[in-house]
Structure 1
């Protein structure tokens, strides 16, 4: 008889490891759930009570701070209102006009000092029943359409047992042109002759200090503090405009009717706990509104802590899996980083060392071989470009225009026959210097000062040839003379200006060479007042198809090409020209002389 095979729960798993993980997870979850059932009720109650106590302490502290602030303002009002000058001035006691004006000046000085020292005070003023008034610095006046004596804050101070009153929030309209929401602290002024209260000193407070006291006290991320007076009117609320606009409501009637310090509302997710503290001094009630969901946030955190403990093994498994996957993908990440370096042109650090004998190891070896080959090809290309540029430089050095050389030697012979020996020496020296600079010096770059000397030698010869038909000036800032520049940049431009701009001019031609620094760039300018060019000619002057002339065998195209090849496309020659007015050629190079491009042969 065959026995029936029984399949247990654990027998359904293909590995013991999976069975152990599941059984252990179930045991932990059950244990945590039992613990939660016992502990959460106690934890919830404790957290709630602690939150209520903490909030109550915060609100009491705000109430105390506001009372201290009002005390401080009362002291200010006492100092300002208790002086004999104020009483005598307001009630027209025996004073000469000079004495009265002096007293007024002293009082207004005191008022001004108070205003300047306190940014939370809008107005400081004293008003008497007889119509006398002193307001702020003296420039303001009472609103003639308002009877100040009928204002609630005025009557409150006159009839208060202490002679002091603090108003609710209101718009102050007693002072002409000043209509601010304020809280008025008023103090009765006694006429010393009659012993009666016949005036009031008052200070209008803005909300900055009270707002600061309330907003600096945090009751969770959504909780807030507001203030009510004895009648339930809103003195301060962080969303005052919404309250006045009817877009937000508070349970004011319930708060005033509450006999305790706490009131909890049932509003679902928006359930609130109102915590109240009433001031014995002002009669105001400071109310803290906190959301129950925030108060119980710690309770939720405790729940999450227990749940995380229950899921510990699962998280452990996830972490181990994460570690293994990280180890597997680490070579791929290294390969990715190396590719990023290659993308940025950094071949020196792009090699990746992966010793694994698998597909990733094979891929890394191929990648290294590829990057080395690309790097070698790029280095070879850079070397060839550098050699090409050097060859071009040598060609330029050899291209002293034969027509120019012939004409110069002819001029030397002519001057020698004419007995102009000094001129012969000068022209010969300039020619020798020009030739020496052209055929010597293997450096690819020279200083701006050397380039200017080369051009000066060239212009010396041309000036002697053309005599009064050519005038030139050279003005280069001293601070750029040591800047490095590739050779033979200015001479082709100067030659071009003479032969195409000034040579056929009937009157004397002027050539100006300037050099200056602009930011991180150096500008060298060759300007002439010669024939100029049409816009169509200007568009083609820097193109390769520019025709070579006997006066300029190289042309400005070659200069432009060398400048941009060495410094980059953002540098080079730019032209401005008008037909019949002249031409301005500007060479722009970097201030560092192209050090960032490559190491030169200086």
Structure 2
């Protein structure tokens, strides 16, 4: 009996010590209350109590309770612990509330981040994509307002600069095409009625031949060669050989006009004769020397044409021992402004056509000393004058 009482005392003490177990009630085998210090026995009064867990509701207050009953070892008595249901679920509810607050905070942060992400990344990138689609249609009047992250803004700035640069390049290309056409027209400016002129000259040559005027016949033949070269409207290049043959005809005519007032020399590497070059690039340079270089010279002037090559370039030079070209005249030739005169029109025409057709694959250099000489050198990369 002492052992039973001791075990019962330990059980009651341990149950009353732990607040989470609620109030302790001791019942005998008839469910009569033996121990109820808190007066909670009315909650289970009239109920059949066995070992296990029960849920009750107090009729007076409507409060819910949970009761847990277990037998006392060595007796038929039972220890019943009664606790408010709210006390048991309080910790869970607090945890659930904290979880809800955390979830709400995470949802708020997610919404804030989503708004930031859309505003600073997605929308600006979408603007760039739409701008690219507009550019694909050929419309370059596109400007995107920079916004978003600094990297995205830099990307938008680069896009706007690219579009502006494209517009400038297209405009420059259009202007170059116009200049190219103008240069071709200037090179062929005498092409008014080519068939009529050639046929007329052929008739003059025939009449001179019948009348045995060899000088007139040769002049007519030379002029026919020059005009035939100028009237090749469907071909902008020919060989160096053809250029030199045309140049010989021109020199023949000019020597008659100027009564052999100059000497003409050629130094040509025959390996270069079959390279393709633009038409009429030597004749304007030679003509400029004949017409302008020797106006103040007392003795006979000398014009020398040279053609040679190295591993990368083809060189064509026209050199005279005339009065030379001033720095102001050279600046006028290479100026972007349209300042044409009788002196520079031919040289500028050659320079412009070379730049329009070959760009950096061509060089045009004038070396001159006033009162001494003028040497004009044209260089063309072999890849643009392939045989």
Q: Given the two structures, how large is their TM-score scaled by the length of structure 1? A: 0.35
Partner of 2:188: 397
Partner of 1:425: 217
| Pairs within 5 Å for 1:503-542 | 503-542=295-334
Q: What's the offset of the Cα at 1:531? A: 1.8
Matched residues, number:
243
Alpha-carbon separation, structure 2, partners of 1:535 and 1:388: 25
Q: What's the offset of the Cα at 1:468? A: 3.8
Partner of 1:103: none
Partner of 1:462: 254
SS of the aligned residue for 1:485 comes to: strand
SS of the aligned residue for 2:91 comes to: coil
Partner of 1:573: 364
Gaps of 5+ in 1: 16-327, 333-356, 596-601
Q: Given the alignment, which residue of 345, 354, 363 partners 1:563?
A: 354
TM-superposition CA deviations, 1:466-492 (whole Å, max 9, x none): 344221122232333333322222111
Indicate conservation of the 8 Å contact 2:183/2:349, yes or no: no
SS of the aligned residue for 2:188 comes to: helix
| Pairs within 5 Å for 1:272-287 | none
Q: What's the offset of the Cα at 1:397? A: 0.7
Distance 1:482 1:592, change over 3 A: farther
User: Is residue 212 of structure 2 the alignment partner of residue 434 of structure 1?
Assistant: no
TM-superposition CA deviations, 1:352-376 (whole Å, max 9, x none): xxxxx98756642431222442499
Partner of 2:237: 445
Distance 1:420 1:504, change over 3 A: farther
Partner of 2:131: 366
Q: Given the alignment, which residue of 91, 111, 114 partners 1:5?
A: 91
Distance 1:504 1:458, change over 3 A: farther
Alpha-carbon separation, structure 2, partners of 1:383 and 1:538: 27
Distance 1:580 1:391, change over 3 A: closer
User: Is residue 319 of structure 2 the alignment partner of residue 554 of structure 1?
Assistant: no
Alpha-carbon separation, structure 2, partners of 1:433 and 1:503: 28
Indicate conservation of the 8 Å contact 1:431/1:461, yes or no: yes
Q: What's the offset of the Cα at 1:392? A: 3.1
Q: Which has the larger radius of gyration?
A: 2
Alpha-carbon separation, structure 2, partners of 1:594 and 1:387: 23
| Pairs within 5 Å for 1:257-272 | none
TM-superposition CA deviations, 1:420-464 (whole Å, max 9, x none): 833222221101111111123322223322222222221121123
Indicate conservation of the 8 Å contact 1:513/1:526, yes or no: yes
Alpha-carbon separation, structure 1, partners of 2:221 and 2:311: 37
Distance 1:585 1:479, change over 3 A: same
Alpha-carbon separation, structure 2, partners of 1:398 and 1:534: 28
SS of the aligned residue for 1:426 comes to: helix
Q: What's the offset of the Cα at 1:538? A: 4.0
SS of the aligned residue for 1:510 comes to: strand
Indicate conservation of the 8 Å contact 2:275/2:385, yes or no: no
Gaps of 5+ in 2: 1-83, 104-116, 141-162, 192-196
Distance 1:381 1:511, change over 3 A: closer
Alpha-carbon separation, structure 2, partners of 1:388 and 1:450: 26
Q: Given the alignment, which residue of 254, 272, 277 partners 1:485?
A: 277
Indicate conservation of the 8 Å contact 2:361/2:381, yes or no: no
Q: What's the offset of the Cα at 1:556? A: 1.4
Distance 1:440 1:490, change over 3 A: same
SS of the aligned residue for 1:5 comes to: helix
Task: Give the root-mean-square deviation of aligned CA atoms.
Answer: 4.2
